[in-house]
Amino acid sequence: MQRRYALLAEADDGDGGGGGAPAGGSPEGGQDNKPGDGEFVPKTQFIAALNSAERKREAEVSGLQSRLAELEAQVKAKPAEQPKRYTRAELTAAVDAGQISQAQADAQYEAQVNLDAETRAERVALDTVSAVERKRFVDSDIARYKAAAPEILDDAHETRQRVKVEFNALVALGDDPRDVATQLKAIRAVLGPIDRLEKARSGRFQHESHRETGGGSGGGDGGKPRNGKLSDQLNAEGRKYYEKGIEQGRYKDWAAVEDELKYAKPATRQRLGIAA
């Protein structure tokens, strides 16, 4: 170190503008960035250190952002805390202690009563809508099963007996009541999903209808043209089924049959010989 100071002193003793560069310096006036100098950090090492610090900072920020996202998700997932409810006794005690007035106690209790009433009304409304939708679904599927498999209504038919056995078994297990929903479960257990049943039988009845009518444009009831009432377009098997249904009281009259046929699916109409 003393040698270096001596060199610097010698340089200062010059003419003040000499062409020589100070010892340890560069011709441009800067210091040599020599490794191992002990006082100067090389430029490349300094930039590398900055880049390393920046990457570390970015990693920390990313980690904080991830943790923040987790906390936000937890807050959203946590159910909102219900406001505290007060009993009459608690409100009376608060009034006696001078913490609230009697008017405030009455207002708090009334608000709780109104909230309970609104909650019950909302629950009843939702339950009612669900029940209506459920009944509509059940009635619709049963109607489709009746059209696709009329034998389920014939007490003398084997399929009807199998449905009865399945229905009684479901009820006996204790989880299903004696209602139409359980009937639908029993029918589905015996005949399979309605969509598959309709698809399977539509091809068969289409072939039978074509064979009975000789491929002509008439219906299955003696060659009647397929126009007018839907019941007039029924093929032989369809007409036989509905005539028996009227006799047994399942349908009041042909007007009731018409009402059911109006909502029959295209595959069912085709099976029954009704023009699309």
Same domain as 109, residue 184: no
What is residue 90's predicted lDDT score, i.e. its pLDDT? 92
Residues 172 and 133 in one domain: no
Task: Give the angle 210-216-217 at the CA atoms, nearest 5°.
Answer: 105
Q: Does the structure show a pLDDT above 50 at 267?
A: yes
What is the CB neighbour count within 10 angstroms for residue 4? 10
179 shares its domain with 247: no
Q: What are the tens digits of pLDDT across the range 134-145?
A: 888 888 999 999
Q: Let me know whether 209 and 272 are in one domain.
A: yes
Of the residues 113, 129, 148, the one at which a domain ends: 148
- SS3 call for 32: coil
Asked whether residue 112 is domain-assigned, the answer is yes
Q: What is the pLDDT of residue 78?
A: 61
Is 198 found in the same domain as 276?
A: yes
Check pLDDT > 80 for residue 126: no
Enter the DSSP assignment of 228. S
Is the same domain home to 243 and 272?
Answer: yes
The span from the CA of 78 to the CA of 244, in Å, is 61
- Closest C-alpha among 147, 138, 144 to residue 184: 138
- 118 and 175 in a single domain? The answer is no
> For all residues of the chain together, what is the average pLDDT?
74
Which residues share a beta bridge with 25?
31
pLDDT exceeds cutoff 90 at 92: yes
Are residue 153 and residue 228 in the same domain, yes or no? Answer: no
Which residue in 95, 147, 179, 113 sits closest to 262, CA to CA?
A: 147
pLDDT one-digit tens code per residue, 201-226: 776 544 444 444 444 444 444 334 34
User: In angstroms, rounded to a whole number, what is the distance separating the alpha carbons of residues 122 and 58?
Assistant: 50
Say if 270 falls within a structural domain.
yes
Spacing of C-alpha 7 from chain mean position: 84
Residue with the larger pLDDT of the pair 102 and 38: 102
The pLDDT confidence band at residue 39, using thresholds 50, 70 and 90, is low
**Which residue range(s) make up the domain with 184?**
149-192
The pLDDT confidence band at residue 274, using thresholds 50, 70 and 90, is confident
Which of residues 268 and 170 earns the better pLDDT score? 170
Whether residue 134 lies inside any domain: the answer is yes
- Give the range among 10-19, 36-45, 69-78 with minimum mean pLDDT: 10-19
pLDDT band at 41 (very low <50, low <70, confident <90, very high): low
| Listed residues 168, 192, 216: the one ending a domain | 192
Does a structural domain hold residue 181? yes
Task: Flag whether 128 is in a domain.
Answer: yes
Give mean pLDDT, residues 65-70: 77
- Region 33-37: mean pLDDT is 48
Instruction: Say if 26 falls within a structural domain.
Output: no
Same structural domain, 167 and 208: no
For the question of whether the overall pTM of this predicted structure is more than 0.75, the answer is no
Rg (CA), the chain: 45
In this predicted structure, the answer to whether residue 7 has a pLDDT above a threshold of 50 is no
Helix (H) or strand (E) holding 4: helix 2-12
Q: Are residues 124 and 95 in the same domain?
A: yes
Same domain, 169 and 98: no
The pLDDT assigned to 228 comes to 59
In a domain, 260, yes or no: yes
- Is residue 266 domain-resident? yes
- Distance set, CA 24 to CA 8, 35, 37, 144 (Å): 9, 13, 10, 101
How many structural domains compose the chain?
3
